[in-house]
Structure 1
Amino acid sequence: MNTLAGNAASEGSGLTGLRVIVTAGAGGIGRAIADTLIAQGSKVHICD
């Protein structure tokens, strides 16, 4: 995988348990970022 999130995940970046606020997270890039963070174990709050 050639993305920042993919590289971070493969290197054990420590995203598990991280608390994150994603603005504009209901769609588009914000949604993709939120989904990626959730998949990596972060606790995500979405504001639209």
Structure 2
Amino acid sequence: MDIEFCQSCAMPMNKNVNGTNDDGTKNKDYCMYCYQKGEFTSGMTNGRND
């Protein structure tokens, strides 16, 4: 079984920690700590402050 990781913070992911898109669906790329309601929770992603 492959383990997926958050593309922002590298946290190991499962369906319980997926972030959410703006329509309420689960986002498979980012965890709930980095991505909620279609937006990043902070100004930093992948170590960059864009």
Q: Does the TM-score normalized on the shorter chain lie above 0.5?
A: no
Q: Which has the higher contact order (CA 8 A, sep 6+)?
A: 1
